Chain A
Amino acid sequence: MSETSVATRAALAPPHPLKEFWKYFSENRGAVIGLYFIIFAILTAVFADVLAPHSPFDQYREALLQPPVWMDGGSTQFILGTDDVGRDIMSRLIHGARLSLFVGVIVVTLSLAVGIILGVTAGYFGGIYEILIMRLMDIILALPSLLLALAIVAILGPSLQNAILAIAIVVLPHYVRLTRASVIGEKNKDYVTASRVCGSGPFRMMFSVLLPNCMAPLIVQATLGFSTAILDAAALGFLGMGAQPPTPEWGAMLANALQFIQRAWWVVTFPGLAILLTVLAFNLAGDGLRDALDPKMKR
């Protein structure tokens, strides 16, 4: 008899949160494809030195603008062809994956950390402090992100580092607003009051009681934030305001591609394709996460 009760209890116990999450996430085929592509991109970035057939900076002067392997004049030495100074495009793309993901990680970490601190404190303390923070965020939001990023780069000078900083500032309001909104939503619930009655201090209240319950929308936003960061960094690189040549950054690789458009389509096509696929993968995964984490969709 005791055996049966244990069995029923096991059957009734809720599934492990991760298992439950995967069940909902894997229902969305696009999201799973996106996730696989992200893993593929991460592996490429990590093992770039091993995977890339050439150095991204080596110039093969005897093979300028050589077409990809499947075209006339292509060779297996340069599978995706070479650019105008004879650098192997595939090796540059592989090393570019490292840069793009690096930009994504730094931007998301920076903006998420600062955004959470500002958002949680604004939502928790309220008053003038909240108004000040939120007005500041409104001002940042009033400007188109690329324009503001350009303005910041104009002050700091063009470099990948400054581009990262600029993008992190530009995307900050999204995290602040999301965090504040969730904190305000949670603030008056019973478990929070209970914790306060137990004597939790403000720091504990904010970061250990409230924050874990506000994480779901932030995780989704952070995933989508990767795609914004990669896209904006590439745009800045393209405009000459981000990574500087000869850095193998995907956007910067396209910066002077326009002049080869008549002669060498491969110089134009592949870097952009890499940006598109990576951004698309993060957007797909982000959409899947949103559906999987949204309690309204569950059931």
Chain B
Amino acid sequence: MIQFFFRRFLHIFPAFIGVTLLTFSLIHLIPGDAVELRAGERGIDPARHAAMKAEMGLDKPLYVQYFRYIGNVLKGDLGKSFVTKKPVMEEFLTLFPATLELSFCAMIFAVVIGVPAGIIAGVKRGTVFDHTVMGASLTGYSMPIFWWGLLMILFFSVHLGWTPVSGRISALFWIDVDTGFMLIDAFRSNEPGAFKSALSHLILPAIVLGTIPLAVFARMTRSSMLEVLKEDYVRTAKAKGLSPTRVIMVHALRNAMIPVITVIGLQTGVLLAGAILTETIFAWPGVGKWILESINRRDYPSIQGGILIIATLIIFVNLGVDLLYGIINPRIRYTS
């Protein structure tokens, strides 16, 4: 078991090095160099240009620059934003809780609805319910979520007036940032109505962001369930005279969940990418919107840093999923 953990852990190094190479080359692939970029359209005189290049270490050979970059990254130093002049790491960490809160709620929404829907569709194969779930999930899977977000705003915010259109909480409330998670902060602030306001701001973005994962979970759970229900041990369990509920909930479900857990883990990356679109539509102040703004402002350190952190997070989530997979499925541990 320890050997499996260790071996899997070693796998993340090539991936991490690859990602740093990618983000490192990002700044070298753009036309012009970092000094010119920073100077902008005003231009810069050659002496100052050379001095700044030396100051930023850009006169050194590429491999030296790369090792310096890696060294800084490992120390948590991702450079400073061109625009705000604040450390990129700091900016990321201020915005990240908002994205985490949104993604977490989207994931819960997707799992709580998608998995049971998939189970029931699998058990009641060929029924109207099954066809409805499969049709809905294929539609959800094909959904351009930026449009879906607009439709939700059109219906729930504009037409029905139920939820606010943008932001994390009504401007009437001034909540001290404590954990960075608005729901928790609002709940602890004891201001009447603050929690409700935070929740009503969160609900539409979470549903929109959770739509594609929801569709994937429903499809995956259903097909995994169908696979397992064909197994001999399910027939044996039925033959022993166990109740259908027990056969499904205990014998089938536990084995059917193994691939589903992997898919849930793999959807984390999809969620973070979807957050870029969702946050843009709902003006949600998270890292997705920040990365997009950084691209628009040509703030390369922020783009570089943001991509690096998100990619690293995903590498670790995938590692976690693999390890979990090893724990729940002993066969994986001993083979490969």
Binding site for B on A (CB under 8 A): 30, 135-136, 138-139, 142-147, 150-151, 153-155, 227, 231, 234-235, 238-241, 251, 254, 257-258, 261-262, 265, 268-269, 271-272, 275-276, 279-280, 283-284, 287
Contacts across chains A and B counted by CB atoms under 8 Å? 129
| Cβ–Cβ contact B139 & A155, under 8 A | no
8 further A-B contacts with Cβ under 8 Å, apart from A142-B318, A155-B30, A268-B150, are A136-B18, A139-B15, A139-B18, A142-B269, A147-B272, A234-B144, A258-B153, A268-B147
B residues in contact with A276, CB < 8 Å: 139, 142-144, 147
SS class, residues of chain B in contact with chain A: helix
Complex CA distance for A136 and B303, rounded to whole angstroms: 21
Q: A239-B280, A280-B138 are contacts. A265–B147 as well, Cβ < 8 Å?
A: no
Would you list the 5 A-B pairs with minimal beta carbon distance, nearest first?
A272-B147, A144-B273, A139-B18, A146-B273, A279-B142
Within 8 A of A (CB), among B255-294: 269-270, 272-274, 276-277, 280-281, 291-292
| Cβ–Cβ contact A154 & B311, under 8 A | no
B residues in contact with A235, CB < 8 Å: 144, 146, 277
Complex CA distance for A136 and B144, rounded to whole angstroms: 28
| Cβ–Cβ contact B158 & A262, under 8 A | yes
Q: List 5 A-B pairs, Cβ < 8 Å.
A: A139-B15, A150-B292, A151-B303, A154-B30, A272-B147
Complex CA distance for A257 and B310, rounded to whole angstroms: 29
A residues in contact with B108, CB < 8 Å: none
Q: How far is the CB of A242 from chain B (nearest CB, A)?
A: 12
| Cβ–Cβ contact B150 & A139, under 8 A | no
| Cβ–Cβ contact A239 & B292, under 8 A | yes
A residues in contact with B66, CB < 8 Å: none
Binding site for A on B (CB under 8 A): 14-15, 18-19, 22, 26, 29-30, 135, 138-139, 141-144, 146-148, 150-151, 153-154, 158, 269-270, 272-274, 276-277, 280-281, 291-292, 295-296, 298, 300, 303, 307, 310-311, 314-315, 318
Q: How far is the CB of B174 from chain A (nearest CB, A)?
A: 27
B residues in contact with A269, CB < 8 Å: 151, 154
| Cβ–Cβ contact A261 & B15, under 8 A | no
Contact of B150 among A150, A257, A280 (CB under 8 A): A257
| Cβ–Cβ contact A143 & B19, under 8 A | yes
| Cβ–Cβ contact A231 & B314, under 8 A | no
Complex CA distance for A254 and B314, rounded to whole angstroms: 30
Complex CA distance for A216 and B26, rounded to whole angstroms: 36
| Cβ–Cβ contact A144 & B26, under 8 A | no
Q: How far is the CB of B152 from chain A (nearest CB, A)?
A: 11
| Cβ–Cβ contact A272 & B151, under 8 A | yes
Query: B28 — nearest CB in chain A belongs to which residue?
Result: A155
A residues in contact with B276, CB < 8 Å: 146-147, 150, 239
A residues in contact with B146, CB < 8 Å: 234-235, 238-239, 251, 254
